């Protein structure tokens, strides 16, 4: 499921992030990928051991907690600490699939079910740099306003087009969902949003209760705790 999540960060938060990132300790983005990814990746990232990365990542996770839409769609069990990247001067990331299992430190690992990009500047600030996600329905070109996010299955082939003017700055991270299967997550999300709409529209409470029961019983059947 490809989903746009608006206003994860407020304009003031975006401005603060940008100010802090302007003085960040950027390094070659190929340091965090394997040999295959390094062949098609050309960007910069904050170092993994950067205090700024940890501080801004924590702030971003706190902001995500304000988004019911994010939680309804992702049903997160665990989230990899957010990273930050910058594309400029022709920087790009060719088609690739994100790694299936990622380290959380030590022996702790996370299965990447969902990928998330949070845009930190507006599309009119740069040329190129579009996120292109390929699935069975074709290629989807994504460029959202600063502060907005997009989530999509980590199993998707995707790329970032070359940035030919300006710079593209974003945060990215991966989520292990309570529900591994993307189709099941989509059905739960659609059921949840339908329940919310019926509730707001003043639908029959017994019917809403029955649908709510179905939602939770499906979540109970499909979730991995």
122 shares its domain with 63: yes
Give the tens place of pLDDT for each residue, 157-187.
999 999 999 999 999 999 999 999 999 999 9
Query: What's the CA angle centered on 156, arms 155 and 160, to 5 degrees?
Result: 130
Q: What gap in Å lies between CA 105 and CA 210, rounded to an integer?
A: 42
Left, alpha or beta for 134 (phi > 0: left; psi -120 to 50: alpha)? Answer: beta
Q: What pLDDT does residue 30 have?
A: 85
Question: Number of folded domains in the chain?
Answer: 2
Cβ(57)–Cβ(9) below 8 Å: no
> On the CB side of 132, how many CA atoms lie within 13 Å of its CA?
14
Q: What pLDDT does residue 38 have?
A: 76
127 shares its domain with 97: yes
36 shares its domain with 118: yes
171 shares its domain with 205: no
189 shares its domain with 160: no
Q: What gap in Å lies between CA 63 and CA 9, rounded to an integer?
A: 6
119 shares its domain with 169: yes
Q: What gap in Å lies between CA 187 and CA 182, rounded to an integer?
A: 9
102 shares its domain with 120: yes
The DSSP bridge partners found for residue 152 are: 115
Give the tens place of pLDDT for each residue, 190-217.
999 999 999 999 999 999 999 999 999 9
Q: What gap in Å lies between CA 148 and CA 157, rounded to an integer?
A: 21
Tell me: pLDDT of 34 over 90: no
What is the reported pTM? 0.94
Cβ count near 108 (within 10 Å): 8
Cβ(147)–Cβ(13) below 8 Å: yes
33 shares its domain with 66: yes
172 shares its domain with 212: no
Give the range of the structural domain holding residue 101, as residue numbers without chain letter: 3-177
């Amino acid at each position: 499921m490809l989903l746009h999540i608006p206003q994860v960060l407020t304009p003031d938060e975006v401005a603060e992030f940008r100010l802090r990132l302007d003085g960040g300790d950027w390094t070659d983005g190929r340091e965090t990928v394997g040999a295959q990814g390094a062949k098609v990746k050309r960007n910069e990232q904050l170092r993994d051991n950067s205090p700024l990365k940890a501080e801004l990542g924590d702030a971003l996770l706190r902001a995500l907690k304000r988004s019911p839409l994010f939680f309804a769609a992702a049903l997160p069990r665990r989230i990899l600490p957010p990273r930050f990247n910058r594309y400029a001067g022709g920087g790009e990331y060719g088609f690739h699939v994100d790694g299936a299992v990622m380290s959380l430190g030590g022996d702790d690992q996370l299965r990447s079910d969902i990928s998330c990009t949070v845009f930190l500047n507006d599309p009119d600030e740069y040329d190129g740099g579009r996120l292109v996600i390929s699935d069975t329905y074709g290629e989807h070109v994504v460029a959202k306003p600063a502060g907005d996010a997009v989530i999509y299955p980590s199993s998707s082939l995707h790329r970032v087009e070359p940035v030919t003017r300006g710079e593209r700055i974003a945060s990215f991270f991966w989520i292990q969902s309570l529900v591994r299967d993307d189709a099941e997550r989509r059905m739960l999300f659609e059921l949840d949003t339908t329940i919310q709409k019926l509730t707001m529209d003043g639908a029959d409470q017994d019917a809403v209760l029955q649908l709510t029961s179905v939602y939770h019983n499906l979540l109970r059947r499909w979730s991995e705790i």
